[in-house]
Amino acid sequence: MSAVALLLLTPLVAGFVSLGLRRADALHGVNLTAMLVLAGAQAATMMRVVQHGGFRAYHDLVAVDALSAYVLLIITGIGFTCSLYTRSYFEHYRAQGTISPVRMSRYFFLFHMFMFTMILATLANSLGILWVAIEATTLATTFLVNFFKRKASLEAGWKYLILCSVGIALALFGTVLMYLSSVRALGDVSGALNVTELLQAADQLDPHAVKVAFIFILIGYGTKIGLVPMHTWVPEAYSEAPAPVSAMLAGVLETVALYAVLRSKTVVDAVVSPGYAGNLLIFFGLLSFGVAACFILIQRDVKRLFAYSSIEHMGIAIIGFGIGGAVGTFGALFHLLNHALAKSLAFFAAGNVHIRFGTREIGNVRGLLKAQPITALALLTAGVALVAMPPTAMFLSEVSVMTALATHVSGGETFHLGRFLTITIADEARNMGLVSLFLVLAVVVFGGFMYRILGMVWGDPPAEIQQREPWSLAHAPFVVSMGALVALGFFIPESVGELMTVAVKILTAR
């Protein structure tokens, strides 16, 4: 069986097998086995792409290149660490009787369907199938957000479902516009939405229709990414979902939704000037960065704090992709991987804190270093990474994006203010303004974020809180994530580096 078939079939089989199981050990065993198979299939796919280039399969319905293989790396990697963490996380709730065996089996079914839809979106050659897969992620994750069946989680689940469905409807309209433009040019209904066909026929597509289509696609998928002002579901959903689900939403789903935007952007860049899509991405990226930085200052719930951090970092990645070029695109791709690692680690730590202290309120958590030293180290590492401090890899990716922003050139901007006043802003002046804004926002995030994190770590815990955390295999995902964040700050594995280099060429080719 090919690696692509394994990637698609493994989560489907694991999901339906989980529906028939009622023992926790069996459910976790199936889950981890499926994740290992997916990791192996992804590694085989990645090596094939690195050694022989991209390929298509199943009558061009599947297309795999360096970009899709890179996103698959994030999906399977974070999926694996979340699966490792799930066992210890749910053991607490199972011991309390909060979760029944039936609900456990439903959780794993939905989790594997979530994995399947994201993998399908990444492998799809058609923008239509990509849209269907992204929509299917909404259906799977809505029930995961509302897993604990509390009033707040039910409200968060409905808000997530409604807003994301509206966003996906807008993305559908953009996809239809792209289809109409393609059919008029190609006359081939069957392959009118295939990315490979669209790129080959780029000079025949209607540039005006493609421009309008991209606006709807960006706003639609931008809702799933959590870009401002389509972000309002993010804090509620991330705070109410189980910690492993929050980690998958922040670290993986946002990346897959951004992947959908990037696939459409490659077509738009081939039809019109790259500056069109790039400027839209820079605008939404800076807006998201700025709004998230302000809201980080006033958060009192640790999971909501991490939710706004996700909005911030997706904004930074969007800025890098909007700037384009080798430096900006490479930095943005690297930032997606680093953010997935750091944010999943942060939510793992938040899950442990909630279990021990019984609260998500930052003001009610003190002395974490004494009560849970391993969790405290994980929280500190995630915090240092999320504010882009060395030696974590996030420092390198954020500096790369900022460097690209400083050197970005697109011809200057001219603004007409009334009949008698015309102002021309040179590239150098505009760049310095944008870089200054970027730095100010980064300082705001650093101060607000680390103030909250350090307040939880230092001090003395309440007397009723147990002050010990013996080492166990439950801490394996912490070690993996922390090790990867620090190691990538010094060394990128050759295969991953080659994958990123080729992916940059795909995204910057015109």
422: β partners: 416
Confirm if 221 and 254 have CB atoms less than 8 A apart: no
What's 203's DSSP letter?
A: G
- Give dist(CA 382, CA 257) in Å, integer: 23
CA distances from 306 to 84, 346, 386 (A): 21, 7, 9
Q: Residue 135 corresponds to which tokens in the numbers above?
A: 């929509």
Task: Specify the pLDDT at position 182.
Answer: 82
Under DSSP, is residue 417 helix (H, G, I), strand (E, B) or coil? strand
Confirm if 270 and 261 have CB atoms less than 8 A apart: no
Classify residue 147 as left (phi > 0), alpha (psi -120 to 50) or beta.
Answer: alpha
What's 415's DSSP letter?
A: E
Range list of H helices, 187-253: 195-200, 207-225, 233-240, 243-248
Q: For the whole model, what pTM was predicted? A: 0.92
Low-confidence stretches of the chain (pLDDT < 70) are: 1, 187-190, 408-431, 510
Confirm if 272 and 256 have CB atoms less than 8 A apart: no
- Give dist(CA 485, CA 495) in Å, integer: 17
Confirm if 151 and 219 have CB atoms less than 8 A apart: no
Residues 147-164 have pLDDT tens digits of 888 888 899 999 999 999
Confirm if 258 and 225 have CB atoms less than 8 A apart: yes
Confirm if 327 and 266 have CB atoms less than 8 A apart: no
Residue found under tokens 């697109």: 410
Confirm if 240 and 296 have CB atoms less than 8 A apart: no
Task: Specify the pLDDT at position 430.
Answer: 59
Task: Fill in the amino acid letter for 370.
Answer: K
